[in-house]
Amino acid sequence: MRAHGKAILGTTVISFLTVLAGTCTLDAQEGPPEAKIETPDSGRPYPPHVVDGQRRGLPEEVFAVAPGTRFLVGLEQEMNTKSLRRNQAFQVRTLEPLEAGQGFYLPAGAVIEGHVSRVEPAGKAGRAKLWLTFDEIRTRFGRLPIVAEVASLPGDHTTKNGPMTNGAIEGHGSTQKDAAQAAATGAAMGALKGVQDKNKKEAAEAAAIAALEAYLMEAGRGEELDLPKGTKLELELGRALYLVKE
């Protein structure tokens, strides 16, 4: 009986070891689970990385800020169309990061250098206009060429896209209300002169002429464009900006 029991126990142990070995063999054949590769379409964003000018084996397109990207900058100096001259240099500073691909970005605070490509003071007629060209952006790893134009700016000023590649910043002109008030004032002064001369006809003619002159003068008068230091401008990239060393 004892021998028979030992035989049964030995058979059971051998069977258990056989099953265990088979399980280990299957696990070894299957191998470790495949790692999930994150792709741009996975819906999960890449971790943010500040650019340092190195490509790290990645294609240059990864470090490109796309054309049409809009971002805010602030003027580093005051600009007034009455005193500005063509080709005069100026600087702006980025107020928000510039984002490229796969989480790479240039932090806010980068200085962009440019020059005045054209300026039209208001003078006695028309509106003041200003065209700006942006040349280079300064980064920690060097200067990079940049192509951008003014898309808009907060406040009461307006922008107008002309035949040039840069957006034109345009100042205010006189309103119809201002011109009408000037005409009324001119008419009153002209009529007063005629009354003083005791001539009703001359008073009427003088009033009409004075009103017309005042209206035309006020209607054609514009304001100089004055942009204080710190004024915010919204720029739009005309070409891709590659955040890598050349």
Number of structural domains in the chain? 2
Q: Are residues 106 and 183 in the same domain?
A: no
Q: Are residues 181 and 97 in the same domain?
A: no
Q: Are residues 137 and 231 in the same domain?
A: yes
Between CA 116 and CA 100 the distance in angstroms is 28
Number of residues that make up the chain:
246
Q: Look at residue 123 and tell me whether its pLDDT is greater than 70.
A: yes
Global confidence as pTM: 0.63
Q: Are residues 144 and 237 in the same domain?
A: yes
121 vs 13, higher pLDDT: 121
> Per-residue pLDDT tens for 197-215?
556 666 666 666 665 555 4
The residue range of the domain holding 212 is 176-220
Whole-number pLDDT of residue 122: 87
Q: Are residues 57 and 146 in the same domain?
A: yes
Angle between helix 200-220 and 176-196 (nearest 10)? 150
Between CA 235 and CA 246 the distance in angstroms is 23
Q: Are residues 105 and 144 in the same domain?
A: yes
Q: In the chain, where do the E strands start and end? A: 49-50, 64-65, 70-75, 79-80, 89-94, 98-99, 104-106, 111-120, 129-139, 142-145, 148-152, 158-161, 167-170, 226-227, 232-237, 241-242
Q: Are residues 157 and 189 in the same domain?
A: no
> Per-residue pLDDT tens for 14-67?
454 454 455 444 444 444 444 343 444 445 578 999 999 999 899 999 999 999
Q: Are residues 54 and 137 in the same domain?
A: yes
**Which residue bears the tokens 């209607």?**
219
Is residue 150 within 8 A of residue 130, CB to CB? The reply is: no
